[in-house]
Amino acid sequence: MTNFLKKQNFWFVFTPYFWLVLFFFIPLALIFKISISVSEWGMPPYRDMFAFTKEGFSINATLSNYAFIFSDSFYLRSYINSLTLAFTSTLICLLIGYPIAFYVAKSKENIRNLLLILLIIPFWTSFLLRVYAWKVILQGSGIINTILIKFGFIDQPLSMLHNHYAVILGVVYTYLPFMILPLYGYLVKFDLNLIDASSDLGAKPFKTFFKVIIPLSLPGIVAGSMLVFIPVVGEFVIPELLGGSDKLYFGKIIWDEFFINRDWPIASALAMSGIFILVIPIIIFQLMYAKYNFKNE
Amino acid sequence: MSKSFLKIESVSKSFGNTKALDNVSLDINKSELFSLLGSSGCGKSTLLRIIAGFEKPDSGKIYLDGEDITSLPPYLRPLNIMFQNYALFPHLNVKKNIEFGLKEENLENNEIDHRVKEITALLELTGLDNRKITEISGGQQQRVALARCLVKKPKLLLLDEPLAALDKKLRVQTQFELVNLQYKLGITFIIVTHDQEEAMSLSDRMAIMKEGNILQVGNPVEVYEKPSDKYVANFIGTANLFHLDKINEKTLIKELNVEISNNSSQNKNLCLIRPEKIKIQKFENQNTQNQCLGVVKEVAYLGSYTKYLIESNGFNFYAFMQNEEVAENLKIKWDDKVICTWSEDSIFFFDD
């Protein structure tokens, strides 16, 4: 009996790990392998890593791809652009999302469910379509310009599309629910009596907010920020559709290296560097945060 | 102007179409332990929240120590409230919870430390400073909540169902501690409770509320012995209520068809005889006044006393008897014929 259970537990526990190995670690290893390969014309467009020739066995591995991307500030700048975009939009999502999440969490139950459905409904249409819709709204003959011209506020249509503001708008719009939902998850458990208690003990509203509400929803803030920040760093579709030539983003550069320049090793090296530059600080942050939480428990 | 410490002057409050408080006036004295008692939805919690400042009354005024506090926000009111669920801050430890309110007063650190030490000693919380709120027992949480309020030396302490979350044994012990504490500190306490026993044992005076109105204000003895109406009589303790009839100059208890001398009834139409004031004995002989014949329908042995449900003349009422002697068995049992007697002074007369 216990053996039987153990067997079941084994599959229960390890299925996600097999999934992770199959669809995450193996592809990651392949990308890493390509990133240290030597580029050449052909299919695939890089040299085999292990070669048996008449001269014998040789390994064709190189770090020159990495050396190249770190020597050209073009790549670094695009990466910084992406980080700035991710940071700005995470901050905006937090500023907009927090009051919304708070309001939803504190609404009466029937209204709350309706509001949650309204938050989730946009996901029923394709992400691509929703970003395209912004293109229609923002373009020269779009609804905003038409209205502004009709009411005589402006003579010439404003160019709102194809700049990095449009990208931020698109990113915030798309990723806002990912900020709101984890925040909501923490705020809905929040005991409103704590706000009253803080006020009763002499704390003015803004102090209550920073001493009671924020600390107690911190895990939600961290989770929401991660869910927005990490995917936005690699975001490709939104800058492609709404962005212009004023700023180049990292995701777009990788795409170009892969599909336009057909330089798979450089593209892979970029992808690997991106992951490591991002993952290492996040791991450190998570460890510190876990330690902080542990200390407080 | 009266010398009342907290004066509630014709306060009304509605939520939508429901009137939570209907023109309520109340005077509470300094250093008094006052209870607001009523079943749920009677408006007692709303009144407490209005005093604390979490709700604004639709009309009426509230004065504390002569000062109009009606429009002051909660953080400026010199009073504190202890919540039913304690509302302790889960992200702070015991000490940080207790000093939370003092930090808002911008006191010096050693003054804060001194006062926290003083209150933790008083409430026997010493040594728990660094514990998380979830790591201490329910009784300790209750005392931390109390300490967090008292450390601010409020003029008035509001307690919302302070004992409801404790188990029965601890509740009785804490009742006495609360009374002692109040006596020692001399702070005015207002306690909201639905538990009449709790209100009786704690309060100097109490107000019984129903549907947004105060029915009676008085000390526990007055309220129990001389209720203002039927509702209060039934709400506090067990009540045997009878109608009175006047026939040919004689006063009769209608339901039992028993005569009582009519000098005390003063033309009232209702009377109350508390169950413990009725003595029951096995039937022997019968008088004419203040007693009746009955049959025991139910018996509930409760250790210190026994509850009997008596049927007499087709009407049911209760009688409580102290179990005065050590006995192997009950002397009076189901279906026994009994004679019930009470003294004339134990009847309270009032109007419907």
Q: Do B157 and B185 belong to one domain?
A: yes
CB B251 within 8 A of CB B61: no
A216 touches chain B (CB under 8 A): yes
Looking at residues B82-101, what average pLDDT do you find? 93
Structure tokens at A253: 């550069």
Q: Does A214 touch chain B (CB under 8 A)?
A: no
The range of the structural domain enclosing residue A151 comes to: 73-296
Find the range with the poorest average confidence among A96-105, A124-133, A242-251, B245-254. Answer: B245-254
A129-162 pLDDT, tens per residue? 999 999 888 888 888 888 888 888 888 888 888 8
CB contact under 8 A, A201 and B152: yes
Kindly state whether B46 is in contact with chain A, defined as any CB-CB distance less than 8 angstroms.
Answer: no
Collect all residues of chain A within an 8 Å Cβ-Cβ radius of residue B152.
201-202
On the question of pLDDT at B284 being above 80, the answer is: no
Query: CATH no. for residue A275?
Result: 1.10.3720.10
In a domain, A50, yes or no: no
Based on the structure, what is the number of domains in chain A?
Answer: 1
Q: Residue B83 above 70 pLDDT? A: yes
Domain-ending residue, one of B220, B235, B250:
B235
Residues from chain B that touch A215, judged by Cβ atoms under 8 A, are 91
DSSP-derived letter for residue B134 is G
Most B CBs within 10 Å: which of A199, A201, A292, A294, as the mutation test of the B interface? Answer: A201
Contact at CB, A191 and B87, closer than 8 angstroms:
yes
* Pick among B51, B54, B55, B75 to test the A interface (most A CBs inside 10 A): B75
CB-CB neighbors (< 8 A) of B81 in chain A: 196-197, 200
Query: How far apart (Å, rounded) are the C-alpha atoms in residues B292 and B283?
Result: 10
Q: Residue B166, Cβ neighbours under 10 Å: how many? A: 18
Is residue A14 situated within a structural domain? Answer: no
The more confident residue out of A275 and B281 is A275
User: What percentage of chain A exceeds 70 in pLDDT?
Assistant: 96
User: Tell me, what's the pLDDT at A154?
Assistant: 84
Query: What pLDDT score does A5 carry?
Result: 57
Chain A residues closer than 8 Å to B83 by CB: 193, 196-197
Q: What tens digit of pLDDT does each residue of A109-121 get?
A: 889 999 999 998 9
The stretch A263-273 carries a mean pLDDT of 92
CATH number at residue B311: 2.40.50.100
Helix axes A164-187, A109-120, angle to 10 degrees: 150
- pLDDT at position A16 is 87
A183 lies in some domain:
yes
Instruction: Let me know if residue A169 belongs to a domain.
Output: yes
Name the domain count of chain B. Answer: 2
The token pair at A114 is 């309706």
* CATH code of residue B189: 3.40.50.300
**B115 interfacial to chain A (CB closer than 8 Å):** no
Q: Establish if B151 belongs to a structural domain.
A: yes
- From B200, B235, B270, give the residue that closes a domain: B235
Of B235, B266, B296, the position where a domain reaches its end is B235
Same domain for B219 and B299: no
Together in a domain, B69 and B54 = yes
Structural domain span for residue B327: 240-350
Nearest to B185 by CA among B215, B217, B150: B150
The angle that helices B168-185 and B138-150 make with each other, rounded to 10 degrees, is 20
* Residue B217 binned pLDDT confidence (cut-offs 50, 70, 90): very high
Has residue B85 been placed in a domain?
A: yes
In a domain, B1, yes or no: no
pLDDT band at A4 (very low <50, low <70, confident <90, very high): low
Measured in degrees and rounded to the nearest 5, phi and psi for residue A142 equal: -75, 180
Nearest to B91 among A193, A203, A216 (CB): A216
Choose from B56, B72, B79, B81 for mutation: most chain A CBs within 10 A.
B81
ipTM of the complex: 0.81
Please give the full DSSP string across A156-203, using - where no structure is assigned.
Answer: SPP--SSSHHHHHHHHHHHHHHHHHHHHHHHHTT--THHHHHHHHTT-
Please give the single-letter amino acid code of residue B53. Answer: G
Is B180 part of any domain? yes
- Pick the residue with more confidence: B349 or A89? A89
Q: Are residues B27 and B149 in the same domain?
A: yes
Q: Which residues of B touch A203 (CB under 8 A)?
A: 75, 100, 104
How much is the average pLDDT of B270-298? 82
Among A188-192, B2-6, B29-33, which is the least confidently predicted range? B2-6
Rounded to the nearest integer, the mean pLDDT of chain B is 88
Give the CA-trace dihedral at B24, B29, B33, B37, to 10 degrees.
-10
Measure the CA–CA gap between B123 and A56, rounded to whole angstroms: 85
> Is B155 in the same domain as B244?
no
Q: Answer for the pair B244, B252: CB distance below 8 angstroms, yes or no.
A: yes
Report if residue B174 sits inside a domain: yes
A179-236 pLDDT, tens digit per residue, is 999 999 999 988 889 999 999 999 999 999 999 999 999 989 999 999 999 999 988 8
